[in-house]
Amino acid sequence: MVKRVVLARGAALPSSTGLGRAHHAIESLLQSALVPGWTKVITLEHAILHFAPSRLLTRWRKHPASVSTSMEGSNADILHITDQEQAHLVPEDCELPVVVTVHDLFHLRPREIKAGDISVPVGDQRPGLLRRRDLKRLKAGLERADLLMCISEMTKRDVERMFPGKPTALVRHQIDLDYWDPEGNPRSRDLLTEHDDDSKCLLITVGSDEPRKRLDFVRDVITSLPEEVAQDIHMLHIGSEVELSDE
C-alpha cells in the first residue's frame, strides 16, 4: 500500500539555493516515484516575502498556523519538514508522525574548531535578539518531532547529544557516485566554458563561503605563492552565486 507524505517548508526558495536545492531533491524523488511505497500529497510553503515585518509575522505566526490547520483531519500518513531551519513548523499535538530533516546544528549549537594555530567559528556565535527567539522556536520544534532524519554521521552525533533519546535516522543526500566518478565518467571542462580560462590551472571550490569552509585561507595560500604561479591559477567558486547545469 502506498503511503502519503506531506512536505512542508517556509519560503518557496528556488533550487539554486542550498536549502532550496535539498527540498527540491526530496520533492523530485517523491514525484518521480523513486521512493518505493511513498508518494507526495502536497507541499506546504509560502511565497518569498521581502518586507521584514511580514516575513517575521509569516514565519512565526501565519505559516505555522496554516501547517497545523492543514494537518487536522489529513488523510496523509506523515508530515516531513525538509530542513531544520523550519522545525518551528512542527505542529503541537500533531495527529500524524512528523519527521524533520536535519542538515546540521551549527546555528543551534555554535562552536569553534581548532585548525592549526587558529580557531574557526562554526555557526553564529552571537545571534541577535530576534534570531535567539527564532532558534528557541526551532529547538522546541525539533523536540516535538517524532523522528530526526540526519544527512551525515556527524550531524547524527550532534543531534543525539542535543536531543538524547530522540529517534534518529541516517539518510545521506542522494549522490550518484558512478555518474560523478572523475575517472570512470570524466566530465568535459567545456561545461565550465562561461566561467573558465583554459589557459590556467583550474581550482574549484564547492559550497557556501561560510568561515568554517576556510576559503579565505585558500585565497591567502594562493596569494602567498610566487606571482608567476599565482597568476596561473584560476579559482572558481561554485555556490549559490553560480549555478551550473547538470546537463
Same domain, 110 and 198: no
Residue 177: predicted pLDDT: 62
Q: How many domains does the chain have?
A: 2
Q: What is the DSSP letter of 45?
A: E
Burial class for 47, CB neighbours closer than 10 Å (0-12, 13-18, 19+): exposed
Residue-wise pLDDT tens digits, 193-205: 777 788 888 888 8
Query: Taking all residues of the chain, what is their mean pLDDT, rounded to a whole number?
Result: 87
- Is 243 part of a structural domain of the chain? no
Same domain, 26 and 144: yes
Residue 175: predicted pLDDT: 60
Average pLDDT of span 142-167: 96
- Element at 183 (helix H, strand E): none
Range list of β-strands (E), 84-193: 98-102, 111-115, 118-122, 147-150, 168-170
Residue 211: predicted pLDDT: 66
Same domain, 134 and 81: yes
Residue 212: predicted pLDDT: 63
Identify the weakest region by mean pLDDT among 26-35, 88-97, 138-147: 26-35
Contact (Cβ atoms closer than 8 angstroms) between residue 78 and residue 99: yes
Same domain, 163 and 89: yes
Q: Which position has the higher pLDDT, 117 or 49?
A: 49
User: Could you tell me the residue range of the domain that residue 209 belongs to?
Assistant: 189-238
Look at the block and give the residue holding cell 517523491.
30
Average pLDDT of span 93-116: 89
Contact (Cβ atoms closer than 8 angstroms) between residue 244 and residue 21: no
Same domain, 50 and 109: yes
Same domain, 150 and 94: yes
